[in-house]
Amino acid sequence: MESVFVGKRKLDSGWLAARWTEIEATGIQLTTTLPPSGASPPWMEAVIPGTILGTLLKNKMIPDPFYGLNNETILDIADSGRDYYTFWFFTTFEYKLTGNQHVVLNFRAVNYSGEVYLNGHKKILPKGMFRRHSLDISDIVNPDGRNLLAVLVYPPDHPGRIPLEGGQGGDHEIGKDVAAQYVEGWDWMTPIRDRNTGIWDEVSISITGPVRLNDPHLVSTFFDNYKRAYLHTTVDLENKSSWHADCSIKIEVTAALEEDMCLLEHLQTYNLSIAPGMHMQYTFPPLFFYKPNLWWPNGMGEQFLYHVEISVDVKGFGQSDSWSHQFGFRKIESTIDASTGGRLFKINGQKIFIRGGNWILSDGLLRLSDKRYMTDIKFHADMNFNMLRCWGGGLAERPEFYHFCDLYGLLVWQEFWITGDVDGRGVPVSNPNGPLDHDLFLLCARDTVKLLRNHASLALWVGGNEQTPPKDINTTLMNELKLHPLFRSGEEESNLGDDLSNDLGDPSQYLDGTRAYVQGSMWDGFADGKGNFTDGPYKIQNPEDFFKDDFYLYGFNPEVGSVGMPVAATIRATMPREGWELPLFQKLASGYIEEIQNPIWKYHKYIPYSNPGKAHDQIESYGHPKNLDDFCEKAQLVNYVQYKALLEGWTSRMWTKYTGVLIWKTQNPWTGLRGQFYDHLLDQTAGFYGCRSAAEPIHIQLNLATFYIEAVNTTSDELSGVAIEASVWELDGRCPHYKVTEKLSLPPKKVCPILEMKYPESKDAKSIYFLLLKLFRLSDSSIVSRNFYWLHLEDSDYKLLEPYHAKKVPLKITPQVSITGSTYNMQILVHNLSKNTNSSRLCNLTNPQRTCMDSNGNSRSGIRTRVVKVNGNHTGVAFFLHFSVHAAKKFDEALDDTRILPVHYSDNYFSLVPGEAMTIYISFEVPRGVVPRVALRGWNYNEELSVY
């Protein structure tokens, strides 16, 4: 028996596009007698997957809509009409049927509807942005193997119009369709002129034999305190042939042990017969695992993933189809906590304190890629976050997004496409009954569940943002996403029997059944739990307020937001010179400052660093900004303090008041100027590192309201044999306060107030000072958590830091690098050479963390590396140091921005007290032919210092 190819081939290159009003040929003619000959007008190279704007931008037919005010020059669909953004897409592919093969053309998502022509034959792509299309083309592929494919894509039926005053979701017309609602603009987003029309997700062909596998469902169940587990699997089978298919269906489970080794856990084969043209559901007998390796969220343990492969062989043909997936054994529970009223998540029986963020999408033009997703998700893991909320006005995120959340341990709360602004309120008041076609909404919802349900990271389904779906949709979702009895909280596993009962039904036969459905983002344990508008606030806050009893009253805040100014290089790279102008600082009669931003900042949704009536301008508190660089540097100081205080304030009340918090939001899908920890160019703000510090699983912190030093242990294990070191440093380099506690033990999942920080009450206290906290092991002085603050006395500010710019502190910098292809991995030891005469004990506790080099710059293998020394005129704290990576020479003469992005740092925007050393780990990829340069700046180092 001769084997034939089965599998999937992506169709992601060689596409052309043209506006349909400029093409006289029909779809039949385009795919028979009049195909385009290449990228000559009106045809152009197309971006697939992508949107029409993405294609127009690639061909330089529109300016970059994310630069300056360019978006205002691009014709909006409300003014152009839908025909203007109705496009043909064309490609060819080679494929010739062999034997009893079948071929299906797959569109994983199209916005919003379309017509498909293949070799002169027409098929329809029905409406709906969030549905898969699988078209059997076995009978229409060309015998000679050359196939011509043309796709006509129509925009959403109700693209709407953008009111002059803007608003949340424009005029709300987009809510009549089952589509992303952010495209009409929001208070954080400019309108997307084509409303994301296009073939925006993967296109492929699937080649199978007579029998095809569809939508396998994997579910793990546990007994005996997670010692025993079962893997349940149900798969849909379709016999596409005209004869009985005698099949053997196989499931194989392997576990990776090392890079090139894996352990075969299970290999089971079962026989069955499928009638001609029959669709059937097949459920495997459950596979038993003893003490499986579990999947844990970020900060709780390893993200262990098993490889599951299902294949079907047909007698007389061979392998007919196969499917594989990385699967994590874990159990997610989600209930309302009785003591706080907040929603409480448990993973594998362990409660988890949620600290995460709200997610819209990577890119407003849907330029989605594995590489971008990997960077996005790794950034969130690097911030020590453990959950992302996929907001209802954005996307049902793609499997690639979830794949990286599986790998990095980010739990995901996925909402369906309902938002209060577009579905029941706003100006004008919107239609509360959701999309016009409720059946279409439910079809897309079911298909989304099937697409995503096997991912370990998926934790929660939610009906909508600040609104519930219409009653009929909500009732259907509640019923179809009901939990299987084995996953219902409040029932002990022992009550369900020692072994699986046939009476319960196999959980893999449910649409989902393993994770809860909540009807809206402010219901049932979120915000006040009743749907009232009790999330937020969204403006700058006084850092100490986050710790106070009256700041937020409810147990789980799904949205709390603030500022997000990027670095000056990003402003210059994304705006013309008019956008480099600083806000006017206008003093009000109340004494508060109002920031009046330039029109470009206003267009890019800038949030001021002042909140008149609530918080004084926190950039001005460091001294009036002199220029763009000074403004952005001071903004980074505020970003760091603001977001660290937010998370530390919430963590301070872990379980006693709060069960979780999600920051609005972690990033912007365009060049926005608010609510972000890294910008659209993928450069982190200092807020990124404030979050990274505050969200450590084990953390030492200062309560800014009580001034007690608190030790936080969010893990499931007691931490014993540790102590806390607290030292205060003044601007002249003196250490007037130093204390080390006695031996401590920190119980699991607790926040423990340890001692009061009394320096501010001392008679010689300085108006500005630095506080360094270290939690360390007494056995070897290794640091478990390190936290650094800059503080001022009450009724003071940070203006005395301004002259500190001139106080250059001596540094010794020792970089070490390894290069693999285009990837650089660096570790840079930074040592503050200022003499520390206050305490020998303190010096002994400042060993570099995880460094592979000694203080002389020698690696453990004895190879000496380059040493850079900076002479200083001051003994004191090396304040707010931050690295950046650049091209040594401009690799694109059209660009003034030489940054290489993204870069992953183990820490940045860090400070070192006298005698202290720290190793920073850096990794990045460089473009072909580019030599990187690593630079250091800091509050005491205004001139850029090249260290590599």
Question: Any idea which residues carry the catalytic annotation?
Answer: 466, 559
Q: Exposed, middle or buried, 274 (CB in 10 Å: 0-12/13-18/19+)?
A: buried
Between β-strands 387-390 and 411-415, what pairing exists: parallel, antiparallel or unpaired?
A: parallel
Q: Are 484 and 510 in contact (CB under 8 A)?
A: yes
- What angle, 0 to 180 degrees and rounded to 10, lies between the N-to-C axes of helices 438-452 and 399-408? 40
Place of tokens 């390190």: 786
Distance (Å, whole) CA 739 – CA 206: 67
Query: In angstroms, how far is CA 813 from the centroid of its own chain?
Result: 33
| Beta-carbon contacts of residue 842 (< 8 Å; ≥ 6 apart) | 725, 727, 735, 738, 836, 915
- Quick check: 87 and 19 in contact, CB under 8 A? yes
Tokens of 32: 């028979």
**Structural contact between residues 357 and 672, judged by C-beta atoms closer than 8 angstroms:** no
Beta bridge partners of 912: 878
Q: Are 673 and 601 in contact (CB under 8 A)?
A: yes
Structure tokens at 309: 């492969």
Ramachandran quadrant class, 478 (left: phi over 0; alpha: psi -120 to 50; beta: rest):
alpha
* Separation CA 649–CA 494 (nearest Å): 39
Any residues with CB less than 8 A from the CB of 618 and at least 6 apart, and which? 540, 609, 610, 638, 641, 642
User: In the structure encoding, which two tokens stand for residue 238, read together?
Assistant: 């379709």
Cβ of 258: how many Cβ atoms within 10 Å?
6
What are 775-778's contacts with CB under 8 Å, separation 24+?
A: 775/698, 775/699, 775/700, 775/711, 775/722, 775/723, 775/724, 776/722, 776/723, 776/724, 776/725, 776/845, 777/721, 777/722, 778/721, 778/722, 778/723, 778/743
597: DSSP letter: -
The angle subtended at Cα 593 by Cα 588 and Cα 596, nearest 5°, is 100
Residue 242's identity, in one-letter code, is S
Contact 614, 541 (CB under 8 A): yes
User: What is the Cβ-side half-sphere exposure of residue 609, based on CA atoms within 13 angstroms?
Assistant: 27
Q: What does the alpha-carbon distance between residue 323 and residue 125 come to, in Å, rounded to a whole number?
A: 25
Instruction: Give the N- to C-terminal CA distance of the chain in Å, as an integer.
Output: 61
Give the pair of three-digit tokens for residue 782: 């290794």
Give the span between the Cα atoms of 857 and 141, in whole angstroms: 65
Q: What Å distances lie between residue 269 and 5, 219, 248, 304, 655, CA to CA?
A: 21, 19, 6, 25, 48
Cα–Cα distances in angstroms (integers) from residue 740 to residues 201, 316, 372, 832, 860, in the given order:
56, 77, 44, 22, 31
- The span from the CA of 699 to the CA of 784, in Å, is 8
Check if the beta carbon of residue 306 is closer than 8 Å to that of residue 257: no
Q: Which residues of 813-852 are buried (b: 16+ CB within 10 A; e: fewer)?
A: bbbbeeeeeeebebbbbbbbbbebebeeebeebbbbbebe
Burial 864-882 (b: 16+ CB within 10 A, else e): ebeebebebebbbbbbbbb
Residue 361 is classified by DSSP as -
